[in-house]
Amino acid sequence: MVTSHPERFGEAYWTFFAARVAPHLPSRPVMIDVGCGPGLFLQDLGQRYPSATLYGYDVTRAMIAYGQQLSWPGAKPTLMVHDVATQSLPHDAGGVHLVSMSSVLHLVDEPLPVLAEIRRVLTEGGVFLLHDWIRQPLERYLAWRRERLGERAPEYLRRAFRLFPVHNKYTTEDWQWLLAEAGLAIRDQTQLRDSHQIFVTTSAASA
């Protein structure tokens, strides 16, 4: 996650963010990264929005510990061990300008209650930025692991077949359906990599 961060959140990602997400954010936004992992995306946000109030939640203690030892350009974020599948977000309704979830929601057994909770905390016109895996044909997924991740036998196939059902759970259309079902309207979407789709959404009530 740490080594692949610069590739996953590279120039193309931030160009898209600047054009499609930033115009919906105030200059002093409240931002949450749900399933923040080692906190590097929050650190990127902190560099771009030094006046932001940042929160990162992750179920894995080691991830939160990693984020806590990073250096932060603005105010230090609140980083907390938190299971979004079983706990409400510790925020009042309507107070968050950006909720981001990157490569996390596919891991949650029941995504709809999580999406409802995200919608609850968004300000009117606030953005939920979903960035997650989309289904690929098996042959293309195996080639991607081999060529892009450089994985090699013997562990390559064992790992690839274990992860295939995890990473290839939802199609783009499934994500669109889930978002609509949760009352989130899609403002924009793009695919910067074969494996992932990005959706810029807002509460359907404020769309």
Compute CA distances 146 → 80, 139, 141, 203, whole Å: 35, 11, 9, 39
Q: Is 126 helix (H, G, I), strand (E, B) or coil?
A: strand
Q: Looking only at residues 34 through 53 of this chain, which bind ligand SAM when binding is defined by CB under 6 A? A: 35-37, 41
Of 12, 19, 85, 143, the residue at the interface with ligand SAM (CB under 6 A) is 85
Q: Looking only at residues 96 through 135 of this chain, which bind ligand SAM when binding is defined by CB under 6 A? A: 102-104, 107-108
Of 52, 54, 63, 118, the residue at the interface with ligand SAM (CB under 6 A) is 63
Please enumerate in sequence order all residues whose Cβ is within 8 A of that of 68, keeping only pairs 6 or more positions apart, or say none: 39, 79
Of 6, 18, 83, 163, the residue at the interface with ligand SAM (CB under 6 A) is 83
**Binding flag, residue 142, ligand SAM (CB under 6 A):** no
Residue placing its CB nearer to ligand SAM in the complex, 4 or 51: 4
Residue placing its CB nearer to ligand SAM in the complex, 17 or 41: 41
Which of 4-29 are b and which e, b meaning 16 or more Cβ less than 10 Å from the residue's Cβ? eeeebbeeebeebbeebbeebbeeeb
Of 22, 59, 178, 186, the residue at the interface with ligand SAM (CB under 6 A) is 59
CB of 207 to ligand SAM, least distance (A): 25
Residue placing its CB nearer to ligand SAM in the complex, 81 or 205: 81
Tokens of 136: 């690929």
Piece in contact with ligand SAM (CB under 6 A), picked from 20-28, 83-91, 154-162, 190-198: 83-91
Please enumerate in sequence order all residues whose Cβ is within 8 A of that of 140, keeping only pairs 6 or more positions apart, or say none: 194
Piece in contact with ligand SAM (CB under 6 A), picked from 47-55, 80-88, 122-130, 147-155: 80-88
AA letter at 166: V
Residue placing its CB nearer to ligand SAM in the complex, 63 or 129: 63
* Contact between residue 97 and residue 168 where contact means Cβ atoms under 8 Å apart: no
CA dist 124 and 122 (Å) reads: 6
CA dist 177 and 107 (Å) reads: 17
Q: Which residues of the shown chain bind ligand SAM in the complex (CB under 6 A)?
A: 1, 35-37, 41, 57-60, 63, 82-85, 102-104, 107-108
